[in-house]
Amino acid sequence: MKDLKPKEAKFSRLFPYFLLLKPLWFPFLCALLCGVLYGVSSGFGLPYMIDQIFPKIFPNENTDLAEELTSFELLLYVVWFPAVFLIRGVSGYFNTYLINFCGVKILEKIRVDVFTKLQKLPLSFFQNNQEGDLLSRVSSDTGQLQSAVLTISNDSIKQPVTFLGAISALFLIALQNEGMSFVLLCLLVIPVCIFPIRKIGEIILKKALGMQELAGGMTAILSENLSATREVRAFNLEKREVDRFQKSSQEYLGARMKVIKYSNLLTPVIEIITALGISFAIFQASRTEIRLESFIPVIMALYMSYEPIKKLGAIQNQIKQALASIHRIEEILNADELVLDSKEPVSKRIKGDIEFKNVCYSYKENREKALHNLNFTISSGEVIALVGPSGAGKTTIANLLPRFFDPVSGEIKLDGVSLSDYSLKNLRESIAIVPQKPFLFDLSVLGNIELGYSQYTDKDPMEAADLSNSTEFINNLPAKFQERLGEDGSRLSGGQIQRLAMARAFYKNAPILILDEATSALDSENEEKIQESLKILMKGKTTFLIAHRFSSIRLAKRILVINKGEIIADGSHEVVYSSCDLYRSLYDQQIEDIT
């Protein structure tokens, strides 16, 4: 992954996320108008009111009034004060509410975009990235980005308008009152504030990126622990896991405190600089004959012009933290999809003739290839067993068929057509997979079976459950087919989960079937029952059997022996047993273990 460098931290990188506001133009426009009203009432309204209204309500000995104010006139002047704060309060409220509304919509769009992208990425992407870190990017980083977009959208209107309003009031007061032009020199401190804003912002960018990465690491530890609750207890790893999580949490806390330290350092620095400007104004005013009541509006205007500088500095900090999150989100959004859908897909029902032509595959660059120049053909309806030691490449072959990833070189053809010429939907709908470790969703039994629906489905879910020998245990569940199974089928045994995965395959009825250690979680008695069902399931289907148990392999009439990514034998059991030393040793060892 690339490092985020300070020179890449440009505000322009946030523009695509602000463009997401386009469908929300009306509430966003209302929010901006409310922000303008807030800024004008704060920056210009308050100082100008103090300068123009208060002298009329509280005349002094130098004030020349033709007559005293009537009660009605006094009421009109006094109403100015709550009116300004009413406008300020109402506009500020609706500005914040509408901006938050837009921000939540943006967050939803970003999260959905990231999640959608994850559905398109190849399995190799997930093999190279921790699950917990990806969770952190989808939740924590998008949340940080939302916070930044809200703050930037909110204060980038209110604060500049407040600043301009205060400057306008300051100029007007200086022009109307003789001897006050010196107060304009106090504005020279504003450019000075730029230097700490830039420097602290660069530091925050680096610290925020490190903090987000540590947050991802901490989430990864949590995710791993929750996925291995049985192993943690079986190996007495509770203390180890607590220590590991505590260490990660402490590292995150340290990084978080550094971000907080620098984020909050900017405010006192700017306050000290701006206080020097106000002190200069007070010093100059004391050397003139300006009265206190005339100088109070100047102090108010100066304060209202300096305050936005602090908040704009905070916006800069938010931008830096957002850029760190954007960097991590964009690593997902900009990741190469590698397995692309066909723009002009071939549309036809698939029979199952398969051909591998010089197929090579490597899981990572500059690593030994997992498959080397594979060449073989399989006729429709043929049952093939892939046999070999762990890591030989059997599962890799199975993963290439539904295009979980594509070959590095060579070509795979299905019914004479390249796999890449089919739509992914059509291709994957034509392949049923029963993996070694099936996944069941937190749905009912019926819902999990019905996930296998395809254009080839020709039976109901109950019939599929019966064929997989699942009906008996399903009927023993409290709600039978409507029983909710919990996360990853946590309420079922390993064998029950495997049988439901088979029921899903029966229901799908796809012309190509991949059984990857499909009977590994079953005992001998249940395996015999399932094998009878498998014979029915495999009938007329192109089938790949990946198994270490030769009791399952006997269902195949043809065996491909794989070793180190190469086919070293091809034929019936009798042929490969007599010609392949590896197959013979594997077979004899298993027979010996059984006897």
> Mean pLDDT, the chain, as a whole number?
78
Question: 291-313, pLDDT tens digit by residue?
Answer: 666 666 667 666 666 677 777 77
Alpha carbon distance 342, 420 (integer Å): 6
Reported as a pLDDT band with limits 50, 70 and 90, residue 3 is very low
* Host H or E run for residue 358: strand 354-361
| CATH code (residue 394) | 3.40.50.300
Tokens describing residue 210 = 């490190």
Same domain, 388 and 279: no
Q: Burial code of 341-380, b = ≥16 C-beta within 10 A, e = fewer?
A: eeeebeeeebbbbbbbbebebbeeeeeebbbbebeeebeb
Same domain, 53 and 197: yes
Residue 512 has pLDDT above 90, yes or no: yes
Does 524 map to a domain? no
Reported as a pLDDT band with limits 50, 70 and 90, residue 14 is low
8-state DSSP, 138: I
pLDDT of residue 347: 82
Higher-scoring residue by pLDDT: 528, 556: 556
pLDDT of residue 58: 65
- Tell me the β-bridge partners of 374: 359
pLDDT of residue 418: 92
pLDDT of residue 510: 92
Mean pLDDT of 534-542: 85
Q: CB of 519 within 8 A of CB of 437?
A: no
What percent of the chain has pLDDT above 90? Answer: 11
- Of 274, 306, 333, the domain-final residue: 333
Mean pLDDT of 261-286: 73
pLDDT of residue 544: 92
pLDDT of residue 413: 93
Same domain, 117 and 32: yes
- Identify how many contiguous H helices and E strands the chain contains and give both numbers: 22, 10
Same domain, 389 and 244: no
Domain count, the chain: 2
For residue 166, give the nearest of 24, 64, 304 by alpha carbon.
304
pLDDT of residue 587: 82
Alpha carbon distance 150, 106 (integer Å): 9
Residue located via tokens 């790949």: 544
Higher-scoring residue by pLDDT: 454, 493: 454
Question: 400-441, pLDDT tens digit by residue?
Answer: 999 988 898 999 999 999 998 998 889 989 999 888 888 888
Does 231 map to a domain? yes
Alpha carbon distance 6, 356 (integer Å): 48
The distance from CA 555 to its chain's CA centroid, rounded to whole angstroms, is: 44
DSSP-derived secondary structure for 244-297? HHHHHHHHHHHHHHHHHHHHHHHHHHHHHHHHHHHHHHHHHHHTTT--HHHHHH
Same domain, 329 and 345: no
Predicted TM-score of the model (pTM): 0.69
pLDDT of residue 442: 81
Does 294 map to a domain? yes
Does 389 map to a domain? yes
Does 183 map to a domain? yes
Mean pLDDT of 468-493: 84
Mean pLDDT of 447-453: 90
Q: Where are the beta strands (DSSP E) in 60-99?
A: none
Higher-scoring residue by pLDDT: 438, 159: 438
Same domain, 390 and 277: no
pLDDT of residue 523: 64
Same domain, 358 and 405: yes
Same domain, 275 and 407: no
Same domain, 326 and 365: no
Lowest mean pLDDT among 33-42, 145-154, 450-459: 145-154
| CATH code (residue 48) | 1.20.1560.10
Q: Where are the beta strands (DSSP E) in 547-592?
A: 558-563, 566-571
Q: CB of 473 within 8 A of CB of 504?
A: no
pLDDT of residue 209: 76
Q: What's the Rg (C-alpha) of the chain?
A: 36
Per the structure, the complete domain to which residue 592 belongs is given by 341-430+513-518+543-595
Residue 583 has pLDDT above 80, yes or no: yes
Residue 176 has pLDDT above 80, yes or no: no
Residue 484 has pLDDT above 80, yes or no: yes
- Of 316, 333, 350, the domain-final residue: 333
- Of 333, 349, 373, the domain-final residue: 333
Same domain, 57 and 85: yes
pLDDT of residue 8: 46
Same domain, 305 and 361: no
pLDDT of residue 542: 93
Does 500 map to a domain? no
Mean pLDDT of 56-83: 65
Alpha carbon distance 541, 511 (integer Å): 5
Does 70 map to a domain? yes
Residue 147 has pLDDT above 50, yes or no: yes
Mean pLDDT of 250-262: 83
Does 486 map to a domain? no
Alpha carbon distance 450, 464 (integer Å): 10
Cross-sheet strand order for the sheet of 417-418: 371-378, 354-361, 409-414, 417-418
Same domain, 187 and 154: yes
